[in-house]
Amino acid sequence: MSKIGIMGGTFDPIHYGHLVTAEGVRAEFNLDYVMFVPAGNPPHKKRYKITDPQHRYLMTVLATVTNPFFEVSRIEIERQGFSYTVDTIKELEKRFPTDTELYFITGADAVLEILTWKEVDRLLAMCKFVAATRPGYEIPELNKKIAEIEKTYSQKIFLVEVPAMAISSTDIRRRVSEGRPIKYLLPESVEYYILKNNLYK
């Protein structure tokens, strides 16, 4: 039986917060590997103009090359319309052997929002949910929310503590646009990719 982690995100751009989270959860649950799934057209993110999926995909590939347990999937960026996680998981389920266990990895902020996601009951039944800690989100508050979701949907949600990385893509985009440094917040290859392609200016 294999155990596969699914790490969804906009990855605009990918940074060490994403990578530390995925690696922490992989080790904790002894996952075979983690599949990063850059979102195509995320329904939740309409506040700013999202970078071309091709750039986000390539940055995710660059950031993950040094980890033999990380892979990147084009499943969402190739799909038309909004990317709903439940549709992605349904599609992935068909591709893996039936005894595969899927672990869906999210940060604390995302788990607080999952009740607004499409077919959340179905989603929670299809995969194990892992909520990773994230700076700015208190563990007691998280535990409370998790208990609520667990009660409503009769599904367990796992809370995993990962090293605190006070990094967000929003902050990185802002830094680039203001000409402030992004060094050491994300892999060097991604930093150079951003500069070379003049992203976030």
* Cα angle: 38, vertex 137, 187; to 5 degrees: 40
**What is the nearest approach in angstroms of ligand ATP to the Cβ of residue 105?**
7
| Residue closest to ligand ATP when measured from CB atoms | 107
Residue 10 or 64 having the CB closest to ligand ATP: 10
**Pick from 185, 132, 122: nearest CA to 157:** 132
**What is the nearest approach in angstroms of ligand ATP to the Cβ of residue 9?**
3
Q: CB neighbours of 140 closer than 8 A, spacing ≥ 6?
A: none
Residue 21 or 73 having the CB closest to ligand ATP: 21
**What is the nearest approach in angstroms of ligand ATP to the Cβ of residue 134?**
4
DSSP helix, strand, coil percent of the chain (3-state; round to 5) = 45, 15, 40
**What is the nearest approach in angstroms of ligand ATP to the Cβ of residue 98?**
27
Residue 5 or 153 having the CB closest to ligand ATP: 5
Residue 48 or 80 having the CB closest to ligand ATP: 48
**What is the nearest approach in angstroms of ligand ATP to the Cβ of residue 11?**
5
101, with CB counted inside 10 A (0-12, 13-18, 19+), is middle
Residue 140 Cα distances to 20, 137, 145, 146, 159, angstroms: 22, 9, 9, 10, 11
- Asked if 173 and 51 count as a contact pair (C-beta separation under 8 A), the reply is no
Residue 15 or 99 having the CB closest to ligand ATP: 15
Where do contacts with ligand ATP occur on this chain (CB under 6 A)?
Answer: 9-12, 17-18, 21, 106-107, 109-110, 132, 134, 165, 167-170
